[in-house]
Amino acid sequence: MTETIREIFKRKLVPVGFVRTMGLLGATTLGIGALMGAGIYVLIGLAAGSAGPAVWLSYLVCGLLSLLSVAVFGELSRRVPVSGGGYAFTYSALGSFWGFMTGWLLALGSIFACAMYATGFAYYATTLFSQNVPEPLLKATALGAIVFLTMLNSRGTKSGDDVQKLLTWGNLLVLAILIGLAVPKANPNLMVPMFPKGLGGLGAAIAIIYVSFFGYQLIANNAEEIVDPEKTVPRAMFLSMIVSLSFYLAVALISVMVIPWETLAESKAPLVEVALKGAGRLGWVLVALGGVLASAAALNSTLLSQSRQIFAMGKDRLFPAIFGRIHEVSRTPRAALWVGGLVTFAAVLVGDLVFIVKSANFCFMVSLLPACLALRKLYRSSESIATPGRWKRHIPEAAFLANLLLLITLDWASIIFGLLLMAMGLVIYLIYSRKREIRSRTGMSVVLTQQPKSKLLSGMRILVPIANPQTQPALFSLSAALLAGNGGELVVLNVVEASNQIDFHSALVGSEDSLDLLDKGCKLPELDREKIRPVIRVSRSLSKGIVHAAEEEGCNMIVMGFAGEESVQAASLMDEVISQARTDIVLLKVREEFHPKRIAVSLGGSSNMHLIVRLAGSLADRFDGRIDFLNILPTDYTMEQKAHSSRMLAQAIKQHMGKALYNIELTSSDAPLDFLVERSSEFDLLIVGATKVGLLERAVIGPFSSQIALRSRCSVAIIRAAQVGDRLGKSIIRRG
């Protein structure tokens, strides 16, 4: 059975949310899974190539510096316990720009990290069968893992959580066995000299392994799925970091004492070399299995959490709105999961492992800088939570400095590439995200239909804001005339205005009158043949509610009723809509019944000409009417003025594509307003264009048009055609 408008409204007003199913063990498992992945199974070889036997010291320094960032995230997650991690923290404290840049870098960093984990999984999975696997097979294995885990997580958190526990704790068991088997084979002499490449090699190794220490942040990304997040998230972060750092140090020490660091550096699966030395072929199989478990666990954790990052930004409209939706059945952000998986898929296809790792490190390091500033601001402005202790006050500054120091360990190629990624994010924010995010903060729409928004390849999408039941038939008739023969869709809108003291959901709860208005309007006979899309929007401003709804719905035109100067507030509303909207606009002042058979068109300049003639022709065809094209010259007109008027009339005739007959009239008067008002009694509808005023030629209704609407004896339509710049801007922001 088809749902009614009221039923759809009640269902959609209650947002679908995450289910809190993850406790301290599950959250800690998520963090360890991301921390103990390719960082130890793959990157230890690359790091050993830079630091030599001192690779263990690189892990120690990197881990201790990272603990400062853990402290920052722990404090932030206690104060802002929502999904989105660093993005949500920064957005909450520093606003949309820094929030977007943080989220952008975190999303990219997670994607690069996933590509690394998938590559590590492929190395160790294929090692179980052969140590000489061709590159195409490695790529195919990595890509298959991404697709499989994305599908698994899209089914629901429970499915991914159970798999995560098996992978993570199975991996730690393998590493513990490896350490036990390798200890008897340890040779401390292999650690001499400790710094074969100097202290610079230590920094170079840190630049490679830093991504290994960022998994704790993924716990914060899933805050809305964790029980008692204010306490559980910080605890899980510290627990996962301590456990992981302990294993990193133990494995790094035993590796460089069992296998020469040069051999580790040359191997794609370095811990297999350690296992072969410690326990022969059995060790090889064991560690290859551990590498598979670890890389799969890290990939699964990061895919899961990266989707929550993208989801949070989609929910705030910085990314397309579809990414901010939760699937009603699986309770997962499926769209966010799949877009993250697909971009990771692409990164694996085209990326080199070392470059991928350093790109991930740049993104993670830079993203932490705004997070540190966010905590500093919260410490200074927080009233709801007690002032932090003396040592805690300096955590943001210390973590900020630590990440700056880590950042300078990267090579110039990685830094330049990272800066290019930041520039790309800046462009996206300025031309796409900023306006959408502002739109989401000033209002919220609920679409009251089961049908998705149609993807129009032709035709129009017209927005009709309704507030007065008496004008609805005329507005719908005019809109239907414009849609006739062209296909398209009618978006019927009612705006509920809310003060700053009322949240959007509360404002919508009391919108029974708006629902009645929409329900009755959509059943009018004028809409019998039209495809309609009812929308209710709550907004801080009535004019912005109309304009933003038109942008969100991708409308080409706004058709709305006009009260004239009888209402100063209404006239101000119309001026605001005309000046702000990037669409064509038709304002209709209705006199009595709307059946326009005699239609007069007042021709002025050429800016509104096409839309004026099109509207006149559409209405004349619908109501079997005729058109009078009027052009008024001053009584002392010049030959140049007369020639211009003649050209306007010729242009109007050329653009008239309808079947209706027409008259043309070129007349003279020094009082064109009085002339049109006097002649208005001969017509059913008079169509005029909006005027332009001010330095930037801002379109407004203007005294001429508003006086005609007020004094005319027939209905009046005031037209404003969107300019080329408006249409270009709308095409950029309309999607999503």
How many CB atoms neighbour CB 381 within 10 A?
A: 8
In a domain, 707, yes or no: yes
Number of helices (H), then strands (E), belonging to the chain: the values are: 30, 13
Half-sphere exposure of 91 (CA within 13 A, CB side): 29
Domain boundary among 351, 378, 410: 410
Domain boundary among 352, 381, 410: 410
Query: How much is the pLDDT for 422?
Result: 93
* Cα of 24 vs its chain's centroid, Å: 30
Query: How much is the pLDDT for 451?
Result: 72
In a domain, 675, yes or no: yes
Q: What is the pLDDT of residues 481-512, one digit of tens each?
A: 988 867 788 999 999 888 877 777 777 777 78
Residue 154 or residue 653, greater confidence: 653
In a domain, 539, yes or no: no
- Residue range 385-407: average pLDDT? 76
Question: Where is average pLDDT lowest: 124-133, 413-422, 521-530?
Answer: 124-133
- Pairing between strand 460-465 and 488-497? parallel
Query: What is the share, in percent, of the chain residues with pLDDT greater than 90?
Result: 14
List b or e across 433-449, with b for residues whose CB sees 16 or more CB atoms inside 10 angstroms.
bbbbbebbebbbbbbbb
Residue 333 or residue 130, greater confidence: 333
Answer for the pair 442, 541: CB distance below 8 angstroms, yes or no.
Answer: yes
Question: Taking 50 as the threshold, does the pLDDT of residue 179 lie above it?
Answer: yes
Q: What is the pLDDT of residues 515-561, one digit of tens each?
A: 888 888 888 877 777 788 899 998 888 888 999 989 888 898 999 98
Domain boundary among 410, 430, 449: 410
The model's pTM is 0.71
Query: How much is the pLDDT for 731?
Result: 45
Query: How much is the pLDDT for 463?
Result: 94
- Residue range 337-360: average pLDDT? 81
In a domain, 473, yes or no: no
Question: Taking 50 as the threshold, does the pLDDT of residue 365 lie above it?
Answer: yes
In a domain, 65, yes or no: yes
Question: Taking 60 as the threshold, does the pLDDT of residue 735 lie above it?
Answer: no
Query: How much is the pLDDT for 452?
Result: 67
- Residue range 337-346: average pLDDT? 86
Question: Taking 70 as the threshold, does the pLDDT of residue 453 lie above it?
Answer: no
Question: Taking 50 as the threshold, does the pLDDT of residue 697 lie above it?
Answer: no
CATH number at residue 378: 1.20.1740.10
In a domain, 291, yes or no: no
Query: How much is the pLDDT for 14?
Result: 62
Which segment, 217-221, 414-418, 441-445, is predicted with the most confidence on average? 414-418
Sheet with 488-497, side-by-side order of all strands: 443-447, 532-539, 488-497, 460-465, 557-561, 584-589, 715-720, 685-689, 598-602, 626-633, 662-668
Q: What CA–CA distance (Å, rounded) separates 488 from 476?
A: 13
CATH number at residue 668: 3.40.50.620
In this prediction, residue 19 has a pLDDT band, given cuts at 50, 70 and 90, of: low
Query: How much is the pLDDT for 330?
Result: 65
Question: Where is average pLDDT lowest: 171-180, 319-328, 530-539, 598-607?
Answer: 319-328
In a domain, 233, yes or no: yes
- Residue range 448-456: average pLDDT? 69
Question: Please, where are the H alpha helices in 460-599?
Answer: 472-483, 504-509, 512-521, 542-552, 568-580
Q: What is the pLDDT of residues 72-95, one digit of tens each?
A: 888 888 877 776 677 888 888 888
DSSP code for 329: T
In a domain, 602, yes or no: yes
Q: Token pair for residue 613?
A: 């003639």
Q: Tell me the β-bridge partners of 719.
A: 586, 689
Question: Taking 80 as the threshold, does the pLDDT of residue 628 lie above it?
Answer: yes
Nearest to 361 by CA among 157, 669, 62: 62
Its sign, for the CA torsion 666, 670, 676, 682, is negative
Query: How much is the pLDDT for 715?
Result: 92
- Residue range 562-570: average pLDDT? 62
In this prediction, residue 602 has a pLDDT band, given cuts at 50, 70 and 90, of: confident
In this prediction, residue 585 has a pLDDT band, given cuts at 50, 70 and 90, of: very high
Domains in the chain: how many in total?
A: 2
Query: How much is the pLDDT for 458?
Result: 56
Q: What is the pLDDT of residues 236-291, one digit of tens each?
A: 999 999 999 999 999 999 988 988 888 888 877 788 788 888 777 777 778 778 87
- Residue range 465-474: average pLDDT? 88
DSSP codes of every residue in 195-241: -TTHHHHHHHHHHHHGGGG-TTHHHHHTGGGBSSHHHHHHHHHHHHH
- Average pLDDT over the chain reads 81
Residue 349 or residue 676, greater confidence: 676
Angle value at C-alpha 175, between 174 and 181, nearest 5 degrees: 90
Domain around 726: 589-736
In this prediction, residue 1 has a pLDDT band, given cuts at 50, 70 and 90, of: very low
Answer for the pair 603, 652: CB distance below 8 angstroms, yes or no.
Answer: yes
Provide the residue type at 433 as one letter. S
- Residue range 592-607: average pLDDT? 84
Phi, psi at 247, each rounded to 5°: -70, -40
Query: How much is the pLDDT for 160?
Result: 54
